[in-house]
Structure 1
Amino acid sequence: MTTNKNARQFRWCSIALLTLGMCSGAVASSPSDPQCPSGNFAEFAQVFSSQPEIQKASIASSVQELRVVADGDKPKVVQRNIKALDATELNVLVPENAAASSLTIKVDLPNKLIVRDQAGKFLKVFVFKHGDCWVLDRVEDWSLENVSDVVSRTEKLLPGQRELRKGAWFDRLANHASPESGVYLYAAALDSYLAGAQEGSPQAALAAAGISLSGQAPRLDNSKIVDLLIAASKSIPDAGVTLANFYCDEGEYDDKQVCINPQLSMAALESAASRGSVDALSQLGEVYEVGTVAPADLPRAMACYQEVQKKDPESGTRGVDHLAAQGVVADNSIQCLKAGSFR
C-alpha cells in the first residue's frame, strides 16, 4: 500500500509544488548507482531538475536539437545533432530559475519535461529515453521571440499584431511537431492570441475563441469565449455570426439541440447584419425560414434573402428561388432587420 501511495503522489505532484515543499516523499539517489536516481521518470525528473551533477551525467552522447529560426519573414524549423549540449540550455529546468522567469515545469509522462510560460513567449520540450537509466536525448526549442524580433525590425505593427502573428506561427508549426509536442504548440498559440486580444487586436480575439473551440487548444470558460467574440464582433462583423451560434450551442455542435439563448443569438445576428455581414443576413433568412431560433416568418426570410442577393447574387438567389417555389411572394414593405431590434 505504501508503494501505491507514493506512486500516486509522484503522479499528481508537479515539479513546481515539489520545489515549494508542498509535496512530501522526495526521492533519494540509488545507493548502487548515485547517478541514476530512479527508473521512474517522474521521480527521476524531480532530481534531474534540481541537481546539476545529475544533469551532466544524464545527457546522451549525441543530442537531437530542434530550433525555430527566422527564414525571411517566417519561422523555419532546423534540426541537427550536437555532441555537446550547452549547459545553459538546462538552466530553465532549475526550479528557482523557472520561477524567477515565470515559467512552469511539467512532467509529461512517459518521458518529457515541458517548460513554458503563459504568454506564448517561451516553450521548450526536453525528451528523454531510457536505457540503463534516463538520458536527455532531444531538446525542442519552439520559442518564437527571436524570430518575432527579427521580423518586427522591418515592420511597424499595430497593437496585438505581433502576438496574433506569433499565434498563427505556433498553429502552423504544430504540423512539424510530434502529436505530443503539438499539444503544447496549440496551447502556446492560444496564449499568444489571448495576449494579442488583451492588447486590442480583434483578429487575435477571434482567433483565440476559434482555436479554443476547435478542440486543439485548451477550452476556455464560456464567459471568456463570449467576451472574446463580443470584442471581435465590434470590428469584424462576421464574428457576430460566430457569437450568435455560440449563444445557441455553447460550442456543443448538435443539430438536434434547442438554442440555449435565442434572444441573445438573434440580437448578435441582427447586429452583425447591420454591420454589413452577408453571412449574418443569410443566417437570418434561414432562421426565419426554419423557425428554430425565432418564430418562422417566411415573408421576412424572403426579405433577408433579397438583402443577401444584393451583395452575393448567387447565394441570395438560391434562397429567393427556394422560397418562391414554396409560394412565398416578396413583400417590399417587410424588412429583414426590424428597426431597433438589434443592439
Structure 2
Amino acid sequence: MFLWEVMAYMTCSMTDRFSMIAFCTLVVIFSSLAQVVFAQDACDKITTSSQGERCSVSSKSAADLQLNISYQQLMVRLEGGNRTDPVVAAGYMAKVKESQRAWIKLRDTDCLLDAFEAEPGSSAYVTAVNNCVASMSRDRSAFLDNIASDNGSGSVIGRGSCPSSDFAQFLPAFSANAESQKRLTALAVKILVLKRTSDPGRFEPQITAETGSSLAFPLMAAMEGKTEGVEIETVDDTHMNVVDKRAGNSNIKIFNFAKKSCWSLVGIEDWSISEKELVAPGRPGMSRAENFCYQRAEGLGGLGALEQYRLTKELYEASLENYVCAAESGDPRASLSAASLSLSQMAPQLETSKLEALFKAAATTLPDGALSLSMFYCTGNSTDYDGPCQHPEQAEKELIRAVSMGSTNALNSLASSFESGDLGTKDMSRALACYQLSAGKGDQAGINNVKRLESQGTESIKASHCI
C-alpha cells in the first residue's frame, strides 16, 4: 500500500457559494499501519477500560524493549571488561543469562498472582498483568544497568584525561578526530538502525548493543562551537543528545552521551535507510536512484506518520524530498504523493509551478491525479482557500477526464458543479445523470444526492448524459 492515496470525499451542502470546494476536500489517506497509530499516545486521556488496556500494552512493550537493551549492554560490558581473562568473562555472562531466565519466570508468575482477583481474560486482568510486567521490567533494567557499570560507562579512565565536565567544551574535544572519539566512547554502545519489515515499503527502528571498539571511527565530523545543522539537546544533568542533520534530513544521526566520571558516547541512532535495506528497483520508468528515492520516501514518511519519534517533522520533510526525487522520472504515483504531501501541512509547500507540474504528471494516468489537478485549478497552492474557483474551465475539463478514467469521487464532484453552475456549466439533467451513475456504482454520496433531488420535487427532471 502506498503511503499517500489522494481521495476526495463529499459532504453535500448546496448553500455554499462554491459547492465544489465546499464538499470536495483534498485529503491524504495514510496506510493502515499509520491510521492505527496516528492518534495520540496510547496513555493519553484514559477514560475507559479499553483505553487503559491499550496503555498497558504500550507500557509493557516499551519496558520489554528497554529490558532487552539493558541486558544486551550488560553482556557487552562483561565481555569487553574482561578481555584479559575470557574464562572469567564467560562464567560471568553465563551466570547473568541463568539469572535472567530465572527472573523472567518469577516475574511472569508474580504478575499472574498480582492479577488474581480479576476475571481471567477480562480487560482488568490483562491491564493488571501488563502493568505489573512493565513495572518489574523497568526495575530489572535499572538493576542490570548497575552491574559492572564501570566497565561500560566509558573508556575514559586509565586511557587519558577527561576533556571537560562541561558538555559544550567536551563535544569539540570528542569530535576532533577518530582517536578522541574512540577513547571517549563507552565499551557498550546502543545502536539504532532502520530495518525493512515484512510489510512491503515499511521500516522500523531496531536496537542492539555493540562494543565500542567494533564501530567504524570517526563516527561524526568535527565540530567547534555552534555548528550549522547540529542541535544539542539536554535530557537531564547526566544525559545529552547531539542531533546531526549536516548530511540532510534523509541521513540524520542522533548521538547519545552519558556522564559518570566523564562524558562518553553511549548510543548512536541512525535514521537513514541504508541501500542494503532497499529492494531491487521495481517501478518501470524510474532509474535505480529514483527507485531508491521512492522507497525511502515511503519508508521515512511511514515513520513520520506514526508521530511517535522526536524526528517526526524531519521524517516528513525527508519523505517529500525523496518523493520529489522519484517524481523526476515522471512517475504519476510519485508525483501525486509529492504534491499531496506538499499540501498536507506536514511538510514544506513546494513552489506553485512545481506543484502544478507534479499534478499534471499525476493526471496522465491516475483518476485521482486528474481529480487533484482539477482541485488545484480551483484552489491553487493554498491549504485554506475559500473563494470562487480560480480557473473553472480547466477545473471542469479535468473533472470530466477524471470521470472518464473511472473516478466515482469525480462523478459526485462533477454532478455538484453541474447542479450549482460554479464551474460554468449549469445543467440539472446532467447533474442527475452523474449522481445516478455514482449511485449505480453503489456510492453512498451518489445515492444520497439522488434521494435529495427526488425529495425536492425534481421528478420532472429527465436525466441526460453525464459526460
TM-score normalized with structure 2 length? 0.52
Q: 1:322 aligns with which of 452, 459, 464?
A: 452
Which residue is equivalent to 1:4? none
Which residue is equivalent to 1:68? 194
Q: 2:348 aligns with which of 218, 238, 258?
A: 218
Structural RMSD (CA): 3.6
Q: 2:422 & 2:360 partners in 1: Cα distance?
A: 23
Which structure has the greater CA radius of gyration?
A: 2
Which residue is equivalent to 2:462? 331
Q: How does 1:115-194 map to 2 (within 5 A)?
A: 115=245, 122-129=250-257, 131=259, 135-149=264-278, 151-152=279-280, 156-158=282-284, 159=286, 160-174=290-304, 179-194=309-324
Query: Displacement of 1:315 after TM fit?
Result: 3.7
Q: 1:274 aligns with which of 394, 404, 415?
A: 404
Q: How does 1:1-343 map to 2 (within 5 A)?
A: 35-36=163-164, 39-40=167-168, 49-56=175-182, 58-60=184-186, 62-72=188-198, 75-84=203-212, 86-88=214-216, 90-91=218-219, 93=221, 106-110=229-233, 111-115=241-245, 122-129=250-257, 131=259, 135-149=264-278, 151-152=279-280, 156-158=282-284, 159=286, 160-174=290-304, 179-250=309-380, 252-254=382-384, 256-294=386-424, 296-312=426-442, 314-328=444-458, 329-332=460-463, 334-337=464-467
Larger mean CA deviation between 104-113 and 220-229 belongs to 104-113
Secondary structure class of the residue paired with 2:325: helix
Secondary structure class of the residue paired with 1:143: coil
Secondary structure class of the residue paired with 1:238: helix
Query: Displacement of 1:108 after TM fit?
Result: 2.7
- Letter of the 1:146 counterpart: E
Are the counterparts in 2 of residues 148 and 166 from structure 1 also a CA contact under 8 Å?
no
Secondary structure class of the residue paired with 1:88: coil
Secondary structure class of the residue paired with 1:138: strand
Which residue is equivalent to 1:25? none
Q: Structure 1 pair 216/277, CA: closer, same or farther in 2 (3 Å)?
A: same
Are the counterparts in 2 of residues 286 and 301 from structure 1 also a CA contact under 8 Å?
yes
Secondary structure class of the residue paired with 2:209: strand
Which residue is equivalent to 1:6? none
RCO (CA 8 Å, sep 6+): is it higher in 1 or 2?
2
Which residue is equivalent to 2:11? none
- Letter of the 1:35 counterpart: P
- Letter of the 2:378 counterpart: C
- Letter of the 1:282 counterpart: N
Runs of at least 5 residues in structure 1 that lack an aligned partner in the other structure: 1-32, 96-103, 338-343
Q: 2:242 & 2:325 partners in 1: Cα distance?
A: 27
- Letter of the 1:184 counterpart: E
Q: 1:148 & 1:281 partners in 2: Cα distance?
A: 41
Are the counterparts in 2 of residues 35 and 54 from structure 1 also a CA contact under 8 Å?
no
Q: 2:402 & 2:268 partners in 1: Cα distance?
A: 47
Are the counterparts in 1 of residues 163 and 170 from structure 2 also a CA contact under 8 Å?
no
**Residues 41-96 of structure 1, C-alpha deviation per residue, up to 9 Å, x if partnerless?**
xx87666555445534554554321112344565342112334165536455358x
Q: 2:349 & 2:339 partners in 1: Cα distance?
A: 9
Which residue is equivalent to 1:21? none
Larger mean CA deviation between 243-252 and 232-241 belongs to 243-252
- Count of aligned pairs: 289
TM-score normalized with structure 1 length? 0.68
Residue identity over aligned pairs, in percent, reads: 27
Q: 1:48 & 1:265 partners in 2: Cα distance?
A: 59
Q: Structure 1 pair 270/248, CA: closer, same or farther in 2 (3 Å)?
A: same
**Residues 219-267 of structure 1, C-alpha deviation per residue, up to 9 Å, x if partnerless?**
2222222211110111111112222223323354447443333333223
